[in-house]
Amino acid sequence: MGFDGDFPPSGTVYYYFRIWRDNGLLEVLSQEMAGGYRQSLNRARTPSVGIIDAQSVKTTAVSGQSCTGYDAGKKVKGRKRHIVVDTQGLIICAWVTAADWQDRTAAYWLFIKMYINRVDFPRLRVFFADGGYAGKLIDFVKNQFEKLAWQLHIVKKAENSNTFKVLPKRWIVERTFAWLDNCRRLSTDYERKTTSSEAFTHLEQVRLLAIKYKKT
């Protein structure tokens, strides 16, 4: 069978993608597979630790027509992926914004999203982030989610150090960004909608976990 016959019509593929994107099925599938993979490593199905970070990526002439900005720090015009991962680097929560959003501002919404979905992650207690998240966000997490006993810890670089050092927990989320960068669809943000960008982030995790399952 030729290449053209290997897939359904593009309209059919997009129809189901749009439904599964909008009803959250792709995110649920990603989380369920992550839970199963954690269990295969003799870990609890749901994580107790989350690691937060953001990554700015370029957009295209088409995707750049909506929800884009300029990240002055990274000198990138496009969008920014905000993610929370567990200690295995598996995505707990993902949100895509314009690149000019501050990491701290987006983190407020990440925590609110995780609070809404807290039934799926009942063991979450401790979060780690870099110095860019320091400040009022720490008190926000402590006070707003007091009943859940959530705590945000800032992992800072050693002062007066000119040598590279691997920071505790921080390398895990950086590795996840590297996984996403290796996906052609995510190397640049091609999507017209940020919700589609988030959906492809979860789809890439599904693909990676399918490979890991095959090896175990």
Q: Is residue 90 part of a domain?
A: yes
CA distances in angstroms from 31 to 86, 92, 143, 158, listed in the order given:
11, 7, 27, 34
Rounded CA separation 68/197 (Å): 12
Q: Is residue 49 part of a domain?
A: yes
**Global pTM value:** 0.90
Q: Is residue 199 part of a domain?
A: yes
Per-position pLDDT tens, the chain of length 216: 445 567 789 899 999 999 999 999 999 999 999 999 999 999 999 999 999 999 999 999 999 898 999 999 999 999 999 999 999 999 999 999 999 999 999 999 999 999 999 999 999 999 999 999 999 999 999 999 999 999 999 988 766 656 555 566 888 999 999 999 999 999 999 999 999 999 999 999 999 999 987 776
Q: Is residue 147 part of a domain?
A: no
Q: Is residue 12 part of a domain?
A: yes
Q: Is residue 145 part of a domain?
A: no
Domain count for the chain: 1
Domain that holds residue 82: 3-121+164-215
Q: Is residue 130 part of a domain?
A: no
Q: Is residue 81 part of a domain?
A: yes
Rounded CA separation 194/63 (Å): 9
